[in-house]
A = this chain, B = another copy of it.
Amino acid sequence: MNDLKLALLGFGNAGQAFAKMLCEKQAEIRQVYGRGVIVTAIATHSKGTIVDAAGIDLVKACKDVTETGKFAADTRGLCGLTTFAVIEQADYDAICELTPLEIFTGQPAIDHIKAAFGRGKHVISANKGPIAWAYDELSAAAAAKDLLFFYETTVMDGTPIFNLVEHTLKFCKITEVSGILNSTTNYILEELAAGKEYDTVIEAGKKLGFIEANPAMDIEGYDAAAKVTALLNVLMKAGITPDDVDRTGIENITLEDIQAAAAKGKVIKLLCKGRLTDGKVEASVKPVEVDQSDMLASVDSTTSIVSITTDLMGKLSVIEHAPEIEQTAYGIFGDVIRIMELAPTSES
C-alpha cells in the first residue's frame, strides 16, 4: 500500500517535535498498518519550503533548522513556492495546518484548509483559529466531500477532548463545558501573587517561552476565548465566534486583588465557561475567585483542565499535567493515526 503523504504548513517547535515523533514511531506504524507516513512538503515563511514527492528527510530538516534556523541549500526539493502554491500543487493526502495563529480572524489558515478540501485532501489543524472562526463552514466542506477534518491539538495539546467525546461518550449530550484553558494566566497570576511586577513577569515569561511575543493574547483572554469557542462549536454545535464570548482578561488584576482573595481562602483563576441555556449557548472567559480547596485551585503553572457536563455521564474532568512540546506533537500524531485508520487507501 502507498504511504500516507503529509504536507506540513509551518515548521515551528510543534512541527519539528511532530517530525521527530514520526521518525521515532515510523517502524511501529509500518508494523501496525503495513504502510508508513511520509512528509512530501513543508511550507514555511522563514525557513524555506521543500516539496519532495519521494519523502523529505525529516532528520536532516530538523537538524538544519535547529542549527541554522532554516532548511539547508542542499536539501532535495528546496523551492520558492508559496504556501498556497504548495497546497495547490504538491502531492499529498493530508495537510497539517501548523502556521502561526492569527487570533482575530483565523486567516490565512482558514483559506489554507478550504484550498486543501477543494483539492479533495484531508486536513489536520493544530491551529485553533479556523475552529474558532469558521468551524461550521469548514466541517460542512469536509463532509460534502467525505474528507477527514481533525483538530485535537487546538485545545490542551494532545489531551483527548474532541476524541474523548466522539469515541468514548457516545449518545451523551454536552450541556456545559468549563475549565482553565490558558495556563499562561496561571503562571502570571502565581508570579504576581509572589509579589513580582507585571512587566517583570511578562519579560521573564517571554524568555522562558511561556508567553507569546504579544502577551495580550494570553492576558486579555483572547487565547482562552478562542479555545472555549472551539470547544463549544465542536461539542455543542454553538456556531459562535470568539466575538460572542463575554471576555474579561487578567490585565486589571492587582496584587491587592490576589491578596484580598487569599484572605478569604480563595485564589484567582481565568475561567472559561460555556453553557446551553434555553437552547442558546452562553460563553464567558473571566477571572474568578475559587476556593483553595476547589480542584480548580490545584490546576497551577502549565497544567490545564477541562470539565464536561453531560446528560448521561454526569460531570467529568480531564487534566493535562505540565505538558511539554511533545504533547502538542502527540495531538498532531494522533490525528495522523486516525487518518491512517479511516482514510481509504489509494493502492499503488
Contact = CB atoms under 8 A, between A and B. Distances in A.
Interface string A159-174: 1100110011111100
A322 B315 contact: yes
Given A294-B298, A312-B330, A324-B314, A160 B168 contact: yes
A144 to B, nearest CB: 21
A174 to B, nearest CB: 14
Contacts of A334: 168-171
A322 B316 CA distance: 9
Q: How many copies does the complex hold?
A: 2
Contacts of A319: 295, 316-319
B298 A327 contact: no
Contacts of A337: 170-171
A222 interface: no
A115 interface: no
A28 B171 contact: yes
Nearest to A28: B171
Interface string A314-339: 11111111111011001001100100
A183 to B, nearest CB: 13
A158 interface: yes
Interface string A174-212: 000000000000000000000000000000000000000
B171 A168 contact: no
A193 to B, nearest CB: 13
Contacts of A324: 314
A293 interface: yes
A186 to B, nearest CB: 13
For the complex of A and B, list the 3 residue pairs with the smallest distance between their C-beta atoms, beginning with the closest: A160-B168, A167-B167, A295-B298
Interface of A: 21, 25, 28-29, 158-160, 163-164, 167-172, 292-295, 297-299, 307, 312-324, 326-327, 330, 333-334, 337
8 contacts: A160-B169, A169-B334, A170-B334, A170-B337, A295-B298, A295-B299, A315-B321, A318-B318
